Amino acid sequence: MKKTSTTLADGRELLYFTADDGVVDAPPDPRDLPTVSTASQMRRDPLLDEWVMMASHRQHRTFKPAEADCPLCPSGPGRHTEIPATDYTVAIFENRFPSLSTAAGHDQAPDLGHPLVDVRPGYGRCEVVCFTSDHHARFADLTPEHARLVVDAWADRTRELSALDGVEQVFCFESRGSEIGVTLQHPHGQIYGYPFVTPRTRRVLDVAREYRARTGGDLHSDVVAAERASGDRVLIETEHWVAFVPAAARWPVEVHVYPLRRLRTIPELTGAERDDFAALYLELLRRFDRLYDAPLPYISAWHQAPASDDEDLSHLHLELFSIRRAADKLKYLAGSESGMDAFITDVLPEDVARRLHAVRSR
């Protein structure tokens, strides 16, 4: 993999990734751009002991532009986008409308006059990952070699962002489909470098800690072993990975993907493990898109260890899920889910596993 670094007109970093050592055309950004807002702040919810990010400038971010105005497509004659190059394989740049910024200062931490609500600058980093220059492609359309390059880019950014002073956790993810809330249709994902451990990860670590104290075992490894032993919900098992529908799935379509070797972060994956994942992941995404007569909206979320996991409780894995519960129905978070975080699912995991088996590649 080759990485080429440059900057955009407003000083944001832009990175081009290629699979070979060839010369990357990285022309300068000719646009006249305003200064990027660094006004993000964080406030701690005293009832849940959780940080809430506040970034009011994001109200003005690009919202569902026409294809001709897509900011993630390559630049062309008379049209300059976030990518100055006329073509690219994988490109990653700092978000123009970030929820978190390494430039956030203490002037973004106002005194609320509330002794129970801590306020801090919204320090961190938000990046946009363009998977391909093809506006009409899906991740599932990539070749295994191209998908492997994306994995390498995730690993690079995890390593680099984890090294930033103050970043506690790196989150690589993709949201696809307008039903999910995606406002840019170009195939892309995002990476967040959080200055805190996210609520979901904190809860999982607490449960894993209690499980270890009670049983002496490793929670993630034991869950994977139980799913493999049952086999009822296992979709794909390769030399290095296993993908299964979890027995207590919350979402109408949900798949967890674990490396068979216990790891903490994406950079720890070997070349063979990255190649194996790329092939497995493409197969899963293609099955998702064969379930109905239209591509499935989904969120694909990497769960990596935070920097503060000194107890070694984490296990790298990916969670892939969709809100579509039938060809013409979506799963909305209703009162129980939104109000109490108590999920009710309309689809049995075993039925989902059978359907995903039925649409596998021949």
Structure token digits, residue 111: 């005194």
Residue 133's Cβ-side half-sphere holds a number of Cα atoms within 13 Å equal to: 15
Distance CA 272, CA 260 (A): 13
Check 146, 188, 256, 317 and give the catalytic one: 188
Please indicate whether residue 188 is annotated as part of the active site: yes
Spell out the residues 6+ positions from residue 188 whose beta carbon is closer than 8 angstroms to its own: 72, 128, 129, 130, 131, 174
Q: Which residues of 107-132 are buried (b: 16+ CB within 10 A; e: fewer)?
A: ebbeeeeeeeeebbbbbbbbbbbbbb
- Residue 281: strand pairing partners: none
Q: What is the DSSP string of 136-180?
A: T--GGGS-HHHHHHHHHHHHHHHHHHHTSTT--EEEEEEEESTTT
Cα–Cα distance measured from residue 320 to residue 342, given in angstroms and rounded to the nearest whole number: 20
Cβ proximity of 119 and 41 under 8 Å:
yes
Q: Which residues are catalytic?
A: 188
